[in-house]
Homo-oligomer: A and B are copies of this chain.
Amino acid sequence: MQTTSSLDKFFAPKSIMVIGASRSPGKAGNIMLENILANGYQGRVYPVNPNADEILGFKCYPTVGDIPEVPDLAVMAVPAAAALAAVKDCAQKRVSALVMTTSGFAEVDDTGAKLQAQILEVAKGAGMRIMGPNTSGITSTPSRFSVSIFPLGMIRKSPISCLAQTGNFATHTMKWILTGEHFGVSRVAGLGNMIDVDESEVLEYFGRDPETKAIVIYLEGFKNAGRFLEIAKQVCRKKPIIALKAGRTESGVRAVASHTASLASNDLIVDAAFRQAGIVRVQSYTTLIDTAKVLALQPIPKGNRVAVLTPSGAMGIIAADACERLGLKMADLSQKSFQELGTIFPSYVNVGNPIDIWGAAMIHGVYEAYEKGMRVALEDEGIDAVLSIMNLSPETVFGSHELDPEKLSFIPELCQEFPDKVVMVAVSGAKSYYEAAKQYLEEHSVPVFLPVEPALEALAYINQCRRYLIWDP
Contacts and interface: CB of A to CB of B under 8 A. Distances in A.
Interface of A: 26, 31, 104, 107-109, 150-151, 165-168, 171-173, 175-176, 179-180, 218, 220, 244, 246-252, 254-256, 258-260, 283-286, 311-318, 320-325, 330, 348, 350, 352, 354, 356, 391, 393, 395-396, 398, 428-432, 434, 450-454
A312 B450 CA distance: 26
Contact of A320 (B109, B175, B254): B254
A428 to B, nearest CB: 4
Nearest to A182: B431
Given A244-B318, A249-B325, A315-B285, A172 B452 contact: no
A258 to B, nearest CB: 4
A315 B179 contact: no
A321 B432 CA distance: 34
Nearest to A323: B251
Contacts of A256: 317
Given A180-B434, A246-B321, A395-B151, A251 B330 contact: yes
Contacts of A393: 150, 172, 175
A428 B172 contact: yes
Given A252-B324, A317-B252, A348-B108, A429 B176 contact: yes
Contacts of A150: 393, 395
B453 A285 contact: yes
Given A109-B348, A352-B255, A428-B176, A317 B247 contact: yes
Contact of A172 (B252, B254, B396): B396
B172 A314 contact: no
A176 B431 contact: yes
Contact of A314 (B218, B249, B354): B218
Nearest to A260: B313
Nearest to A396: B172
A221 to B, nearest CB: 10
A317 B451 contact: no
A312 B251 contact: no
A246 B317 contact: yes
Contacts of A395: 26, 31, 150-151
Nearest to A181: B431
A68 to B, nearest CB: 32
Contacts of A317: 220, 246-247, 252, 255-256, 259
Contacts of A220: 314, 317
Contact of A249 (B250, B321, B454): B321
B286 A167 contact: no
Contact of A252 (B258, B320, B434, B451): B320
A31 B393 CA distance: 14
Contacts of A151: 395
Given A175-B428, A252-B320, 12 more contacts: A151-B395, A166-B314, A172-B429, A173-B428, A175-B393, A180-B431, A249-B321, A255-B313, A258-B352, A259-B356, A284-B452, A286-B451
B259 A314 contact: yes
A3 B165 CA distance: 57
B108 A313 contact: no
A383 B331 CA distance: 48
Contacts of A180: 431, 434
Nearest to A330: B251
A256 B320 CA distance: 10
A171 B451 CA distance: 14
A352 B258 CA distance: 9
Contacts of A172: 311-312, 391, 393, 396, 428-429
Contacts of A322: 284
A150 B358 CA distance: 14
A450 B173 CA distance: 10
Nearest to A456: B284
A218 B218 CA distance: 35
Contacts of A247: 317, 321
Q: Which 9 A-B pairs have the closest CB atoms?
A: A259-B313, A166-B314, A249-B324, A251-B320, A179-B431, A180-B431, A252-B321, A251-B330, A284-B453
